[in-house]
């Protein structure tokens, strides 16, 4: 599934039947990046995909970018996007081919490199199939995140999904935009924290694949065990209520919020997601901080051979 969806050019994306939904999701990410990623930051982008957020980081004038993804073809597309915009991107980029839920990425990172922000957009729900995988993800986040640094997340909202499921007939939620079929008993109960599977598809975005419920309370508690303290978490509808009319976001966030053409079915699909922000806490210093990392600077042309593989 991860390698099968082809890269889309701007014209194709503009013709997408869910363009308003795509625009909204990009706006949410833009707000999170503007609010929680300071200028001149060093950023770790977990599940970076094809580099869809590179321009958002460009607008924040970041200092260094490291992207990690399970799909090699997506990383190749990310390189192409980076190289094609060489006159705009002023930050160096490194890419790692790895499954962050199943192994440490420590060996792929330069000694001494610490991050001001870690991002994981629309991917945590793939790593809640097992507790071990969720913990491995959070270790990868916390080990190299600076004290005070932010971990920004968008993922599915288990509260909403379960509420909608229990109000529905059968085990499938469906409209013209999305479909979610749950693997649970007819009582629609979920006694376990991990491995609560549903098969999900989103028109023109997500091919049918397995996702897993991310219970917010358990996610927050697990993050806390990894020295990640909750700053805020909001369903996307509540996120819109908080930030949609905020003057600062209207002026400074790119892309700007555009709701033209938003259908009721798309607005319902948006309701299925939640944003989280965590802050790294603690007063201890990691051994990695004993070494001063020499930050590279500026654009550097990349090729597929530059991808560090941990697969």
Please indicate if the annotation marks 25 as binding a ligand: yes
Q: Would you list the DSSP string of 196-261?
A: -EEEEEETTTEEEEEEE---HHHHHHHHHHTTEEEEEEEEHHHHHHHHTT-HHHHHH-SSPP--TT
Asked whether the beta carbons of 174 and 87 are under 8 A apart, the reply is no
Q: Would you list the DSSP string of 113-153?
A: --EEEEEEES-GGGSTTSHHHHHHHHHHHHHTEEEEEEEEE
Please tell me what DSSP assigns to residue 108.
G
Q: What is the pairing mode between strands 206-212 and 197-202?
A: antiparallel
Phi, psi of 126 (to 5 degrees): -85, -15
Dist. CA 200–CA 178, nearest whole Å: 7
Count Cβ atoms below 10 Å from residue 132 Cβ, excluding itself: 12
CA angle 23, 182, 98 (to 5 degrees): 60
Asked whether the beta carbons of 29 and 56 are under 8 A apart, the reply is yes
Of 180, 189, 141, 185, the residue nearest 161 (C-alpha): 180
Dist. CA 85–CA 65, nearest whole Å: 15
Q: Which residues are annotated as a binding site for mRNA?
A: 25-26
Q: Which residues are annotated as a binding site?
A: 25-26
């Amino acid at each position: 599934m991860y390698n099968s969806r082809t890269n889309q050019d701007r014209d194709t994306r503009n013709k997408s039947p869910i363009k308003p939904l795509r625009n909204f999701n990009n706006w949410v990410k833009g707000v999170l990046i503007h609010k929680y990623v300071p200028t001149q930051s060093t950023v770790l982008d977990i599940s970076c995909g094809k580099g869809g957020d590179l321009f958002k980081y460009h607008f924040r004038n970041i200092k260094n970018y490291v992207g990690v993804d399970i799909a090699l073809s997506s990383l190749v597309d990310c390189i192409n996007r980076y190289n094609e915009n060489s006159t705009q991107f002023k930050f160096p980029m490194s890419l790692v081919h790895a499954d962050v839920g199943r192994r440490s990425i420590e060996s792929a990172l330069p000694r001494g490199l610490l991050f001001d922000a870690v991002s994981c957009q629309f991917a945590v729900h793939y790593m809640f199939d097992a507790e071990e995988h969720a913990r491995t993800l959070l270790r990868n986040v916390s080990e190299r995140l600076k004290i005070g640094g932010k971990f920004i997340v968008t993922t599915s909202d288990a509260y909403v999904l379960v509420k909608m499921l229990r109000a529905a007939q059968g085990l499938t939620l469906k409209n013209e935009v999305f479909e979610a079929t749950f693997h649970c008993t007819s009582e629609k109960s979920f006694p376990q924290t991990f491995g609560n599977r549903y098969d999900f598809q989103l028109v023109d975005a997500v091919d049918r694949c397995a996702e897993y419920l991310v219970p917010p309370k358990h996610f927050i508690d697990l993050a806390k065990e990894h020295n990640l303290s909750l700053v805020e978490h909001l369903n996307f509808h509540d996120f819109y209520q908080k930030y949609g009319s905020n003057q600062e976001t209207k002026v400074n966030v790119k892309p700007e919020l555009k709701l033209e053409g938003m259908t009721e079915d798309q607005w319902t699909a948006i309701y299925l997601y939640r944003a989280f922000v965590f802050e790294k806490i603690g007063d201890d210093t990691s051994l990695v901080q004993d070494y001063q990392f020499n930050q590279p600077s500026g654009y550097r042309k990349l090729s597929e051979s530059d991808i560090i593989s941990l697969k």
